Structure formats: structure tokens, C-alpha cells
Amino acid sequence: MRAIKKYWPIFLIPTMAAFAIGFVIPFILGIYLSFTKFTTVTDAKWVGIKNYATAFKDSTFTHSFWFTAAFAVVTLILINVIAFALAMALTKKRRGTNVFRTVFFMPNLIGGIVLGYIWQLIFSGILVHFNTALNLNAKLGFWGLVILVCWQQIGYMMIIYIAGFQSIPGDVLEAAEIDGANARQTLFKVTIPMMMPSITICTFLTITNGFKLFDQNLALTAGAPMKQTEMMALNIYNTFYGRTGFEGVGQAKAVIFFLLVVAIAALQQKLTRSKEVQQ
């Protein structure tokens, strides 16, 4: 104990320094820059809330918010329902479950940009028969993104759900069976309540991933047509680099975006946490 009291800085400082350099300082600097006009981060001029005013007036930003919100909700539901179902199927004692687990997990190992281009080829190959393309129609773009992200993330969420299933004590399920619960009742009254910790994690990951999506968006549609499929992260990027003198506005949007994601994630945590039960 005495040793810890004496030497705590040795253990703490390297990590704290890394945390400060890699996160705290850039974060504070970022908030500061959102109130300034700057070309490089070292010569910023204070302009107050002007950047925020411009950001809120920008109709593409509001559009990207609604597009992103719709996307996040759709992927939240699809990914979690499918991943849950797959996890349930793959924890049954059948032959080849390991092979299938690997197969479903694999897409998650490919980077977003690469995935975006691969899927663009696939979609183009199909849509050419219908005389259209993904970046000509916002609806197609939306569903293209949904398919891509589902394909990528279902495997990952499935692994978390599998771990959850394996930690459900067998006696609870056995008790339910003895009490005469049917499969449906077991699922909704026993399994899902027991799975709530996994559900909390997975919904948190999918909803924040949905909001933060960037590389897949950039590679698959790049916002075409006419910014109709531009999501918030891409909108911020385009604001930052697309116009002269808009670095501060992009930064202000990034701060708004951060607050939004935090608020949504907090709400989601509150909702799912309250449903968790003690095992």
C-alpha cells in the first residue's frame, strides 16, 4: 500500500499523458476552435457564436441529420434483430456452428472504404439491368448503405450476443421448461431479460456507429445525388474542406454532432439499463 502511495505518479502519468495528448487537449482545442475563424489551428481569430449560427442555417446539415437519424434507427433494428436471431441459432448444439460464426464475423474485418467500393461494384452490377445506379437515387443510396452496414456489423453484434447466450444459467431455462413455458414465453420472459446487458452494449454500439458512419458513406455514395445521401460526419468533412474559410463552421458542426451523439447514447443507456435484471 505504501509503495502505491509513493509511486502512483509513475503508474498514472504515462497513461494520463497519453490520454491528455490523444484526447483531452484535442477535444478542448476543438471546442475552442469552433468559436474561431482559422486556416491552420495555430492562428485562430475569435468570432463568437457566428459559426454556430451559420451551421444551423445550413439546410444540408439539417437534411443530413434526418437522413442519419433514419439510417441509425433502421440499422439499429435490423442489425440487432438479425444478430440476435443468428446468435440464437448458432448457440444451439448443431454441427458447423463454428464455421458459420466465422463466416458471419469475417466482413467485420474489412475496412469501411474497401467495403464501400466492393459493394458499389456489386450494386452497380445489379442496377445496370434496371438502367439506374446507386448514386442516382437517394432511396437506393439509403438502402444500399443499410445493406452494407448490416452486412458488416451483424457478425460483430452476433458474437456479443453469443457470449450473452452462453452466460445464461441453464437452471433458469430448465425451470422455465418445467413450469411449462412455451418457446415464445421462454424467449420473451426469460431469455431476453437475461440478455439485457448484451442488448445494452449492442444497441449502444449500433446506434453510435449509425450516427458516426463516415467511410462507408464516402466510398459508397459520397452524398450523391445532390447531397441527398450525405450523412452528418460526411457533411462536417465537406464543410471543413469544401469551402474557403469554413473550417470554423465545420468545427462548430462537429461540436453540435458530438453533443447530439452523447445525448442519444445517454438516452439509450437509460432506457436499456433500466430493463436489466440481476441474475
Partner 1 sequence: MKSRKAMVLALTASMAASLAAGCGSSGGGKSASSASNAASTSGSASGSGKVYYLNFKPEADEYWQELAKEYTDETGVKVTVLTAASGEYESTLKSEMAKSEAPTLFQVNGPVGLASWKDYCYDLSGSDIEGQLTDKAYELKDGDKVAGIAYVTEAYGLITNKALLEKAGYSSDDIKSFDDLKKVAEDITARKSELGFSAFTSAGMDSSSDWRFKTHLANLPIYYEYKADGVDDKDELKGTYLQNYRDIWDLYINNSTTDPSQLSTATGDQAESEFVNQEAVFFQNGTWEYDKVKAIGDDNLDFLPIYFGVDDANEGLCMGTENYWCVNSKASEEDIKATLDFMNWCVTSDKGVEAMTSSDKMGFNIPFKSNPESQNTLFKLANANKGTPVSWNFSTMPSEEWKNTLGQALTVYAADQTDGNWDLVKQAFVDNWKTEKELAASAS
Residue range at the interface with partner 1 (CB under 8 A); choices 95-103, 131-139, 187-195, 261-269: 131-139
Regarding 225 and contact with partner 1 (CB under 8 A), the answer is yes
CB of 35 to partner 1, least distance (A): 14
Q: Are 266 and 202 in contact (CB under 8 A)?
A: no
With DSSP H G I counted as helix, E B as strand and the rest as coil, what are the percentages for the chain, rounded to 5? 80, 0, 20
CB of 209 to partner 1, least distance (A): 24
Regarding 166 and contact with partner 1 (CB under 8 A), the answer is no
Q: Which of 20, 31, 41, 181: binder of partner 1 (CB under 8 A)?
A: 41
Its sign, for the CA torsion 74, 79, 80, 82, is: positive
Write the CA distances from 134 to 124, 167, 179, integer angstroms: 7, 42, 53
* Other beta carbons within 10 Å of 12: 10
> Which of 59, 30, 44, 84 has its CA nearest to residue 195?
84
CB of 156 to partner 1, least distance (A): 28
Query: How long is the chain?
Result: 279
Q: Give me the 248-277 binding string for partner 1, x by CB under 8 A, dash otherwise.
A: -x----------------------------
Regarding 128 and contact with partner 1 (CB under 8 A), the answer is yes
Q: Are 255 and 31 in contact (CB under 8 A)?
A: yes
Q: Give me the 44-73 binding string for partner 1, x by CB under 8 A, dash otherwise.
A: ----------x-------------------
Q: Are 267 and 211 in contact (CB under 8 A)?
A: no
Regarding 18 and contact with partner 1 (CB under 8 A), the answer is yes
Residue range at the interface with partner 1 (CB under 8 A); choices 72-80, 88-96, 129-137, 266-274: 129-137
Q: Which of 20, 30, 32, 37: binder of partner 1 (CB under 8 A)?
A: 37
Strand partners, 36: 46
Strand partners, 155: none
Amino acid at 21: I
Query: Any idea which residue has 437534411 for its cell?
Result: 63
**Which one, 188 or 241, has the nearer CB to partner 1?**
241
Which residues contact partner 1 by CB under 8 A? 7, 10-11, 13-14, 17-18, 21, 37, 39-43, 54, 120, 124, 128, 131-136, 222-227, 238, 241-247, 249
